[in-house]
């Protein structure tokens, strides 16, 4: 339960939210890159997108978005 409490505290810190916003922006940029790369690089970029997704999920980004309304 302490991990959840820690996350509850973090999502109210502006610097933490800005960090996750940066991860989200990176994820979106990587998705855009998928349109312009060779098939060899698609797997590499897809892996990076999944890493971003994992960070956003573990970091509670969905809760930050819902809090913004």
Band of the pLDDT at 68, cuts 50, 70, 90? confident
**Paired tokens of 62:** 């969905």
Q: Please check the confidence at residue 2 and state whether its pLDDT lies above 90.
A: no
CA distance 7 to 16: 10
The count of structural domains within the chain is 1
Separate counts of helices (H) and strands (E) for the chain = 4, 0
Domain that holds residue 40: 2-68
**Residue 39 pLDDT > 90:** no
The reported pTM is 0.87
Rounded to whole angstroms, the Cα distance separating 16 from 22 reads: 10
| For range 2-31, the mean pLDDT | 92
Mean of pLDDT values over 4-28: 93
How many other CB atoms are found less than 10 A from the CB of residue 3? 8
What pLDDT is attached to residue 1? 64
Q: Which pLDDT value is given to residue 25? A: 98
């Amino acid at each position: 339960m302490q991990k959840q409490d820690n996350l509850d505290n973090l999502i109210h810190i502006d610097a933490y939210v800005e960090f996750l916003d940066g991860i989200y922006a990176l994820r979106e940029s990587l998705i855009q890159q998928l349109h312009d790369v060779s098939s060899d690089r698609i797997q590499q970029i897809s892996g990076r997108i999944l890493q971003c997704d994992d960070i956003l999920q573990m970091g509670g980004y969905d809760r930050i978005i819902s809090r913004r309304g």
